[in-house]
A and B are shown apart, each in its own frame.
Chain A
Amino acid sequence: MIDRRAFLRLAAGAGPASLAAACGWDGGNAVRPLLLDVSRLNDWVGEKILFSQHRLAPQYDIAQRATRLPSYFISPMMPVLRDPNAWRLQVGGLVRQPLTLSIDDLQAMPRTTYTVKHHCVEGWSAIATWHGVALSAVAARCGMLPQARYVRFDSFDSGYSNGWDLASAMHPQTILAYGMNDNPLPASHGAPLRLYSPTKLGYKMTKYLVSVTFTAERPGGYWEDQGYPWFAGV
């Protein structure tokens, strides 16, 4: 939690600073940590007050789908598996029964399909259909322990990862997606498996998944560690 004094100091410092020394300024070493403290406060407000585990994102007609979504990855080249058949998802951490799941295993589980709007932190949005299995079903299958409070998602995209709060992860629309727009998930969008949820900004939805780990400590993430909002709920 942010302490109150830090917040007041920020409020007092923010104004004059923003006027006098703006110029594409990020706040410098004095203000940046305070901004990140407030960002943590906003994470808390976003998770505990504004987010509801029972509120579903609106769904759209497939006629409203965008023809193309931009693809993002951090590796210099699009990450592609050398041997897709050898790929497995590792599910572990605070669970009774760690799992090693193939795409076939995941597709044999109850399927969730929805057509929803994707919100990018940059400001663009686009409608697409996603097919996958609810993460809550995977958590039930591996016997997630009550100590689990967060989930860490790791990828084979140069170490790209994300950390999620458990409430968002267990939202009924949070899925491990193996399909997009009635087709298998393309490499440009994270094949063979990616995290998807219409309640988060795009950068929270780890692509090229290799593991799902339930933890007690809050995991960081690729963009989150560089200053982007951690909760990033929409």
Chain B
Amino acid sequence: MTATPVPKSPPPPPARPKPAAVKRHHWIVRLTHWLTFVVLAGMIMSGLQIYTAYARFGERDGPSYVNAFEGHGFPHWSRLGGWLAGGLNWHFALMWPLIAGGVVYLSYLVVSGEWRSLLFRPRDIRGAIEMQKYYLRLRKDHPPQGKHNPLQKLAYTFIILLGVLSVLTGFAVYKPTQFSWLTALFGGFQGARYWHFWAVWIFTGFLIVHVILVFVVDPASLRAMISGWYRGRFPSHD
């Protein structure tokens, strides 16, 4: 039996083993993610250019929809296209890669079965409440999770639906006569314009929160969205 020398000070904690890299995002997901980011930025900026031509929502002589931006154009740096025709041409060109990216991405989710780790379902409600408690510090330990926690699933499900809504309201504004049934669904041409505009601010809000959470909670996820490999706190996959 050999006596181990008693250290004078507590030993340094063993170096945390470097987390194993797990494959996180298929190249289709990474490609469509960044494509959507860039194209959506162009869509929003050309959309602000188009909005400037008639900066309110409501029929001529009719009541206005509630709109904080009524009567205001947007600053020059935030607009794309230079004038109305330029804004329209950008908007109607970028709509193709936006829709194509969305279709490819959603098809991938379905074919690969990845939708299971993204779609928020009723059984996720309980987990979402636990996760919310953790963020509100009513619970100390991070609830166990798969690829995404239930609140992330809620956010990603919501943003996909918002994307679908943007495309549908877009078509309702683009062809209000050919798709008159769709336009009527959104409350008519002006209603469709209004909800199409709202999507801009929800996307913008989502983007801000999304980026903050990436850097505050899980910076490794940014690298994963670029390289596909994840070395972070939440390596398990459901």
Could you tell me which A residues sit within 8 Å of B by CB distance?
7, 10-11, 14-16, 18-19, 22-27, 32, 34-36, 38-39, 42, 46, 50-52, 55, 57-58, 66-70, 117, 119-127, 198-199, 223, 226-229, 233-234
Q: How far is the CA of A35 from the CA of B41 in the complex (A)?
A: 17
Pick from B87-95, B112-120, B137-145 the stretch touching chain A.
B87-95
With contacts defined as CB atoms under 8 Å apart, how many contacts are there between chain A and chain B in the complex?
145
Residues of A close to B189: CB separation below 8 A: 117, 119, 125
Residues of A close to B49: CB separation below 8 A: 24
A15 and B39 contacting across the interface, CB-CB below 8 Å: yes
A198 and B177 contacting across the interface, CB-CB below 8 Å: yes
Number of B residues with CB within 8 Å of any CB on chain A: 46
Residues of A close to B4: CB separation below 8 A: none
- Our pick among A26, A46, A55, A67 for the contact of B82 (Cβ within 8 Å) is A26
User: Could you tell me the distance in whole angstroms from the C-beta of B101 to the nearest C-beta in chain A?
Assistant: 10
Given contacts A15-B39, A126-B59, 20 further A-B contacts (CB under 8 A): A18-B94, A19-B42, A23-B77, A26-B86, A42-B92, A51-B178, A67-B61, A70-B60, A119-B176, A119-B177, A119-B189, A122-B53, A124-B60, A127-B59, A198-B177, A229-B85, A229-B92, A233-B178, A234-B177, A234-B178
Complex interface bits, B38-49 against A, C-beta within 8 A gives 1, otherwise 0: 110110011001
Main secondary structure of the interface of B (DSSP, over half): helix
**Contacts A18-B42, A27-B86, A66-B60 hold; do A123 and B193 have CB atoms under 8 A apart?**
yes
User: Could you tell me the distance in whole angstroms from the C-beta of A30 to the nearest C-beta in chain B?
Assistant: 14
